[in-house]
Amino acid sequence: MLIDHLNRQLRERADQALTRTRRTTESPCAPQQRVAIGSQPSRDLLAFCSNDYLGLAHHPVLVDALAEGARRFGAGSGASHLVSGHSLAHATLEEELAAWMAPNIPNARALYFCTGFMANMALVPALSAQAAIIFADKLNHASLVDGALLSKAKLHRYAHRNLAVLERQLKQCDTAIKLIVTDAVFSMDGDLADLPALLALAERFDAWLVVDDAHGFGVLGTQGRGSLAHFGLCSERLIYMGTLGKAAGVGGAFVAAHPTIIEWLVQTARPYIYTTAAPPAIAHALSASLQLIAGPEGEQRRAHLHALVAQLRGDLSKLIAAHAHLGWSLADSATAIQPLIVGSNAAALALSAALDAQGLWVPAIRPPTVPVGTARLRITLSAAHTAHDVQRLVDGLAVAAKDLHA
């Protein structure tokens, strides 16, 4: 029976320390959150796990803009974009995003999606005919992996950031349509793809470069314009996906690309065509978010975030050296994603629980999200954190390290 089969599978996951548990937050997204697990009483935790990198999710300007958008456009869109759900708010946001990306993608158009996962599930299959070949980094986000598998294209995966392997694969390929697909900032490691080298390979071998900048948009580059701006890239061969529920603080995602590519998505991308459009109020709030990101406040928040990253890395490096016997390591990341790799699933869960007991919320990340033997705490920083918050985390890890040693 189905239920018996699923229960066996669930028990096997539990035996491997792979069971996932949801927590319920009772307060807005912020470093200090009121959190409940199951039927247990809620309590206050200092969180280092959200993707709210600029601390905008509870910004009063965005809260007011969301309310204003709801008053002006209503609570829902009522239909898909191609029926009657495409509002002035959506159209305005897409025009703003196209202008945002124009310095990096000549004559760019932009298309708004409800989520980043949906955007990638629309983008990759729509561009991948049966005769196409996809070249993908092995540590790409699940949405890029699933999009490639859903497509009819042949998939070649190359070892993480190993462009020598990718170059050999491209040399051996005589297919007309070639897509190189990569995260810009890898979500579980925090490192950056070598986008300039990838673009050079795309131009050399007549390929297109699809970039998922979910964790770079709003944080990297001049005015927070993302990884393409960070590297100073400009090419019509770039196809860019950025999410708007992380640094932008609201929700949704967009694809920016050559106008023909965007028109093709409008006409053929099933996740875009056959779903109800996001509430217009969200798009209205995102227009306000873009202004904050690009303005002086956004610049200040990015500078503060980078200072927190430097503080955390400096202090954790000392802590790891002092407890070398634990086998911890800090991933090579200069972004807000700072993975502390501890090894086994059980060790990661134990460390997360030790921090939780001290009022610190840092989830354990385990396979299949990360490779076997590299379970970790995925520490994420926000511009809403303070230097004191980071010190609390380091102190909590020091206490946990001593307890584990004992």
Task: Tell me the sheet residues that pair with 257.
Answer: 109
Query: What residues in the chain have per-residue pLDDT under 70?
Result: 130, 405-406
Residues whose CB is less than 8 angstroms from the CB of residue 80 and which lie 6 or more positions away in sequence, other chains included: 273, 274, 275, 276, 277
**What is the identity of the amino acid at 155?**
L
> For residues 122 and 271, is the Cβ–Cβ distance under 8 A?
yes
- Sequence-separated contacts (24+) of 340-347 with Cβ below 8 Å: 340/316, 340/376, 340/377, 340/379, 340/397, 341/374, 341/375, 341/376, 342/375, 342/376, 342/377, 343/373, 343/374, 343/375, 344/373, 344/375, 345/16, 345/17, 345/18, 345/375, 346/17, 347/375
Question: The whole model's pTM is what?
Answer: 0.95
Q: 327: how many CB neighbours lie within 10 A of its CB?
A: 12
**Spatial CA neighbour of 335 closest among 185, 200, 225:** 185
Mention the CATH class of domain 22-51+299-405: alpha beta
pLDDT score of 330: 97
271's enclosing H/E stretch is: helix 270-273
pLDDT score of 405: 64
What span, in angstroms and rounded, lies between the C-alpha atoms of 272 and 147?
14
Dig out the tokens for 228 from the structure: 């393409």
Chain segment 196-214, per-residue pLDDT in tens:
999 999 999 999 999 999 9
Chain segment 116-127, per-residue pLDDT in tens:
999 999 999 999
**Spatial CA neighbour of 23 closest among 367, 400, 361:** 361
Question: Cα separations (Å) of 303 from 32, 100, 148, 224, 336?
Answer: 21, 21, 36, 11, 12
Residues whose CB is less than 8 angstroms from the CB of residue 63 and which lie 6 or more positions away in sequence, other chains included: none
pLDDT score of 178: 96
Domain ranges across the chain: 22-51+299-405, 60-294
What span, in angstroms and rounded, lies between the C-alpha atoms of 381 and 47?
9
Counting Cβ atoms within 10 Å, is residue 80 exposed (0-12), middle (13-18) or buried (19+)? middle
pLDDT score of 131: 80
Angle, helices 345-356 vs 387-405, to 10°: value is 120
pLDDT score of 370: 93
pLDDT score of 404: 78
Structurally, at CATH architecture level, domain 60-294 sits in 3-Layer(aba) Sandwich (3.40)
What span, in angstroms and rounded, lies between the C-alpha atoms of 150 and 128?
10
Residue ranges of alpha helices (H) inside 186-256 are 195-204, 227-231
pLDDT score of 262: 98
